[in-house]
Amino acid sequence: MTQGMDRSRLFMLAFIVPAVVYWLSLFSGGFEGDWAVKALPMWVAAAILWRDLPLRFGAPMALGFLAASAGDIFLALDRDAFLRQALLCFLVTQLAYSVAFARAQRTGLRLVYPVVNPVTFSESESA
């Protein structure tokens, strides 16, 4: 097994495990720090985008993912008290994504990224 394959499995687990844990917490009273578990997959995705994509595209995409996770954190903490802050974060998310895709289109960046099949953990190219 290659190092890239090990890293792919680790990243898949960093997405799946927190998602399942957070989802299960919705049926209970939750737990202290569940907001961090909710945001963890977005933090991992932001790191991957920043590291693997050209900076002109990866940086605003990573910013968008971090802003989206901040919005999710606000909603997880207190939906009524922090709704405006969450919506502002989601606005930043959309603006960051718009910047990223405008830059990609302007520079002719071909958006092909290896996708890991969650069943077989094999990589394939996706357009």
- Domain range annotation of the chain: 3-126
Q: Who has greater pLDDT, 21 or 113?
A: 21
DSSP 82-102: THHHHHHHHHHHHHHHHHHHH
pLDDT tens across 60-113, in order?
999 999 999 999 999 988 999 999 999 999 999 999 999 998 888 777 666 555
- DSSP 8-state code for residue 126: E
pLDDT recorded at residue 48:
85
CA 13 to chain centre: 13
